[in-house]
Structure 1
């Protein structure tokens, strides 16, 4: 008979041996190849196992599980389950995932090799642990993400391939031999609630609490936030603001945009809300927001009154912070879009954590004489660690559209160094349980996850809008006035932000299978896609594109029309800061389907048009005369050295498509009369240089294009006769099929054939063509024809329709 004292001695010796040889307790009976095990006596009743120790390495093997009744057994417990995680422990991308917390209550390290974790009793090993240890009295989080593709460099995170349901279910922890050692059945949970384990006097209970990942479980008391008597908005006259809270609560508030706490102003009566413009400038005067010699505003800037309040109960539990923006006597902004961005000023201007300033490290480097390696400025630091929470209120012509807690990061390249910086703005569950804006900023969108606040005038958005109908992605845009922490900051543009969500919204593809490459670097997606892009680029450089087989290979992997639309737009608009490896972004899907955009082909995206039209690089008086095809670019390789253009233009089909597309854009999208008309709809005071540019650009750039492609033909007029648009229209080349102008005319070179397609309206059918000054090549009765222009005459195209 083995005595209790002897068993304890044996067990202690075993644990010492296991800890020495393995660093933990191994429970899988098949983990060791040797078969020479020494039996250690232990009663099944007390310990539930027959225990073996390997003579060679001291590893333990156990069989015959009954119940975990002793410290020889794992004792790992499921400590907490959160099935609706909207704010806890976001990853480097700002995404939050449901989680299961394990806890090791013992005094030894436990290795989970081979353990199973699952939400299905019929499949206990939906997730199987690798070589993972839990130290004594420590926690381990497992994120339940299902089949979602996680892009993360945080290798210490554990992602399980199943998801949790918010309606409630069971979670099982299983030994490698298939024996369940813990099971938790949690009920329906709300956002950020968890089902938590509590043990008092050896009695285990579970309660719904606020989540406490990687911390000791504790009960949570919810405190309702204070209620404001007036909402954010524009007010003509001063007024008294009243704050109320539940009985027994105290309210504290701030007027300087800082986060309120118990050291802030205690609310004891109504607050006077008035025009704050007479107050001294505070944040607008911060001098460490740029390294450039910029002028700071000396006059008082317009200001909104920002009120932030929080409620506390008698035990010190606090509510969420409520933030309101009041514009008193500032009616001049009621006819435009206004964004009020409010965050604790430390998030922007603190030397340690502020994302808008040089930062402590950089200042110390400056004071040291700049001897050491130059550190990053705070505003140049990137990633989720340099994202800060902000309360964003958006007003459309004086009306509050939404208020929402969002994340902000500094964006851009060289303009990060300027006093007026741009922001990327993100909706995340981490902030308020919403991963979409409460209301999209653009009526064209059904939902929106992020956007850009860009420090620029209307030019960026306006130029992109001119080619919004083309086969290249563009960003919707609208102007706004930005206030930061209540102070007027300047004129900004609200822009769509390119992301996998953008691709999903605009093209209807699954964003989980979208890859994006920006300036030759992987922006999102798989390394496989980046390798595909690099291999494709190498193929184009190293093979003769005049060969049909090689060109066809490229066309199977690139949407050629998208590439051409992008390059034609950049060249016509005189962008001298654009190349295949700079200020260019492309995307593709990694899967294929019936969706025409889910075909694995790379497609192009327009952005960053700052260097278009008139740039300050050469200060050319005749800036519209700049030959962007061969011009000496200040920041990038010239177009003729671009591997896409330089190599693909060796193919005659590519040249034809490029030349015809370029003239389509020149005649239609960049038509000077239409552009100037659109310009005055955007602004009452357009930049004169933009008007001069479009009035003159056509005559010069089309000539340079002809020289670049060595065209020998003439530039001739092509007129579409659309006398009865109610019967049908004509689609010419890549132009839209909705041209209803009875005599639309454009100029085209005669070198390449053009394509015309008759588009009958409902109730009509195509009946034939009337062509003058040109020759139909091929079937003259086809609804789609090729047209050969003549050098010595103009061309007229008319489609005839008949009623059916």
Structure 2
């Protein structure tokens, strides 16, 4: 009995200790800092985040605790068993807004909801449904964190986010208004005096080298700033009672009239050229900086060929491309991000599109064609207009980075779910998120968006099943846009694109699988059959670069084989007639040729005379190759003479006139 009483006493004492001290320990865990409109990318993501901090002296067991933005669901996110927060430590809950494979562990956790930047209440609850903290948040600013000042005090906005570290000692209730650069950005002769306005009492600081202004930067002159050379201007406002403003930016071009549309980028050296973190440099590590997927803030301006400003906004940038990233002049992808201002580029620079805005754009440096013609891809792609296949439109432009001339680029649409959605007319956000986009073979490593299960099933079905069976053919036709596939294969073969791995397919919810035409710069180089051997091959042949089975399964069906050959003949007699192709060449050359001398002077990686020779050779192959296609198909598909005559007889007669060899 004494022993039982002793145990009961111990239990009683423990209960008293837990009430007195355990509850206190729980109360030591606080929502320390929140970022609900994040524009700083880490490992490819800029998720919302919440930081918890244990300001007590004891480790707190968080197992079963809940974190939420919903009064009705206190355990919207639940900490897994074993989750702990040691005294003086921080942990992060990434609020991803997407289904997560794991709730996380250690000091990093993942919730499947986002935090509203318009203001809401966050709740932290222990496993017994006792409320630990309720934090009502006001409307949030982009890229500004909100939290408790180090040392205590009222919650407010911080000058700098400090996730995982001690918070700043000062927190503010507002943000200083962004200054207005009154003088229009653009093109001037001789010089221009720039006027800037800020909120009453604000201290305006500026830079002219691309760096974000700080309190130590030069004070903007009250009488205005006289600019005598092409200059990137950035201005920021500082106030004693507020977080500093977002940064205003504008480029002033002096004695530098545009010959094309212009894109000007302004950003900090640490984001661009720093050996440690700059995305346009190789850096010093084993993995080049340009291959690390960095995404950084940048001010983006677009001026049309008349010098009229179309957009001026903050966004983000990444280094784009694959093997071409090693080139000195790198391709750059641009993104409109809400955290930095707007989630759209509210303009349309492309002549064949009727869209009113874009989510992302691509500054393409011509990649593998950088020192030859710089136009193969855009000319070849433009031939797909109106042919039932998605391609990237283009505009020949010039780029400046921090006021420095960066040469000729081709402005392109960027391939992603928004690009597909715009073309296919998909408008619901959930449907856009569920668009499937696959590269190359479509396996998991080449999954760009959505899901690949149905595509892989389709390819395997085509490999194993006889499509002469009407039921089998019906099954495929329900899933695959066959005419689109035929058009894609025809283009690749006629163009002679030797980079045969550049194949992508996509599908919108409720739609069929389609191919898109992209990255065909490795075309018009010779009169060899390639890439025909990769497109037309045995069903059980080795998979090389992309899945060849759907196309070749169709060729086993006589009417489908005939349909493909008719499509090739149609394209040869219309799109690939030299009078049509030559016009596409001339439209680009008329814009590109005048700006090339300056581009060559900037990069010194080509010569104008060599460019002219390369253009001449490219035109020759574009003119003559179409006449060779019927004979190539005859060999690859084992066509009879009668079949060649049936499908290509009249077309060859036409091409002998329209595409005859040029007189030397």
- TM-score, with structure 1 as normaliser: 0.65
Task: Summarize the alignment of residues 259-278 of structure 1 with structure 2, pairs less than 5 Å apart.
Answer: 259-268=212-221, 270-274=224-228, 276=229
Q: Against the structure 1 CA distance between its residues 151 and 330, is the aligned structure 2 distance closer, same or farther, given a 3 Å change threshold?
A: farther
Hey, what does 1:454 align to over in structure 2?
364
Instruction: Please say if 1:238 is aligned against 2:194.
Output: no
Task: Determine helix, strand or coil for the equivalent of 1:181.
Answer: strand
Q: Is the 8 A contact 2:485 2:551 kept in 1?
A: no
Matched, 1:308 2:218: no
Structure in which a larger fraction of residues adopt helix: 2
Secondary structure of the corresponding residue to residue 415 of structure 2: coil
Change (3 A) 1:150 1:504: farther
User: Counterpart in 2 of 1:629?
Assistant: 532
Question: Which of 429, 433, 444 is matched with 1:512 structurally?
Answer: 433
Using the alignment, how far apart are the partners of 2:335 and 2:243 within structure 1? 28
Matches within 5 A, 1:95-244: 95-97=46-48, 99-131=49-81, 132-146=83-97, 148-149=98-99, 157-166=108-117, 168-191=119-142, 196-197=147-148, 205-207=154-156, 213-214=163-164, 215-216=166-167, 218-220=170-172, 222-243=175-196
Q: Does 1:575 align with 2:497?
A: yes
Look up the match of 2:11. Answer: 40
Higher relative contact order (CA 8 A, sep 6+): 2
Post-superposition Cα deviations, 1:48-73, rounded to whole Å, max 9, x if no partner, equal 85xxxxxxxxxxxxxxxxxx886465
Partner of 2:483: 561
Equivalent pair of 1:562/1:604 in contact (CA under 8 Å): yes
State the partner residue of 1:376: 287
- Structure 1 counterpart of 2:661: none
The Cα offsets for residues 342-374 of structure 1, whole Å up to 9 and x where unpaired, read as 22334333222222233224xxxxxxxxxxxxx
CA contact (8 A) 2:498 2:530 kept: no
SS in 2 for 1:453: strand
CA separation in 2, counterparts of 1:571 and 1:70? 73
Aligned equivalents of 1:697, 1:197: Cα separation in 2: 69
Q: Give 1:235 shift.
A: 0.9
Distance 1:446 1:153, change over 3 A: farther
| CA distance in structure 2 between the aligned counterparts of 1:235 and 1:262, rounded to whole angstroms | 30
Q: Residues 449 and 38 of structure 1: is their aligned pair in 2 closer, same or farther, counting only changes over 3 Å?
A: farther
Distance 2:472 2:484 in 1: 19
Provide the C-alpha distance between the structure 1 equivalents of 2:337 and 2:414, rounded to a whole number of angstroms: 15
Match of 1:253 in 2: 206
| Closer/same/farther in 2, CA of residues 566 and 104 from structure 1, 3 Å limit | same
Residue 571 of structure 1 and its aligned partner are, at CA, apart by 0.5
How far residue 321 of structure 1 moved from its aligned partner, in angstroms, is: 3.3
CA contact (8 A) 1:238 1:328 kept: yes
Distance 1:123-1:344 versus aligned 2 partners, 3 A rule: closer
| Aligned mate of 1:709, from 610, 632, 637 | 637
Q: Which residue of 2 aligns with 1:609?
A: 520
Structure 1, unaligned runs of 5 or more: 1-9, 11-35, 50-67, 277-303, 362-374, 593-597, 616-622, 719-744, 750-804
Corresponding residue number in structure 1 for 2:347: 439
The superposition leaves residues 736-793 of structure 1 with CA deviations (integer Å, 9 ceiling, x where unpaired) of xxxxxxxxx99469xxxxxxxxxxxxxxxxxxxxxxxxxxxxxxxxxxxxxxxxxxxx
Relative to structure 1, the CA distance from residue 157 to residue 484 in structure 2 (aligned partners, 3 Å threshold; closer, same or farther) is same
**Does residue 1:324 correspond to 2:233, yes or no?**
no
- The correspondence of residues 472-491 of structure 1 with structure 2, limited to 5 A, is 472-491=389-408
SS of 2:579's equivalent in the other structure is helix
Aligned residues: 595
Report the alpha carbon displacement of residue 522 of structure 1 after superposing the two structures with TM.
2.8
Query: How far off its partner does 1:91 sit?
Result: 4.7
Deviations 1:569-613 (A, max 9, x none): 1111111111xxx11122235xx5xxxxx23x4321211111111
In structure 2, C-alpha distance between the alignment counterparts of 1:133 and 1:489, rounded to whole Å? 51
**Structure 1 residue 79 and structure 2 residue 50: aligned?**
no
Over residues 71-112 of structure 1, what are the superposed CA-to-partner deviations in whole Å (9 max), with x where a residue is unaligned?
Answer: 46522555257584143x545334333x44433222222222
On the 8 A contact 1:500/1:511 being kept in 2, the answer is: yes
The corresponding residue for 1:700 is: 628
- Pick closer, same or farther for the CA change 1:390–1:663 going to 2, 3 Å: same
Q: Distance in 2 between matches of 1:632 and 1:473?
A: 19
Task: Report if aligned partners of 1:455, 1:493 keep a CA contact under 8 Å in 2.
Answer: yes
Report the Cα offset of residue 661 of structure 1.
1.8
Kindly provide the CA deviation profile for residues 361-389 of structure 1, in whole angstroms up to 9, marking residues without a partner as x. Answer: 4xxxxxxxxxxxxx33333x232xx2233
Shift of residue 461 of structure 1?
2.3
Higher Rg: 1
Point out where structure 2 has 5 or more consecutive residues left out of the alignment. 1-5, 367-373, 537-541, 594-611, 653-664
Within 1, Cα distance between the matches of 2:534 and 2:421? 37
What is the CA distance between 1:273 and its match in structure 2?
A: 1.7
SS at match of 2:80: coil
Secondary structure (helix, strand or coil) at the match of 1:680 reads: helix
Aligned counterpart for 2:282 among listed residues 345, 358, 383: 358
- Displacement of 1:423: 1.2
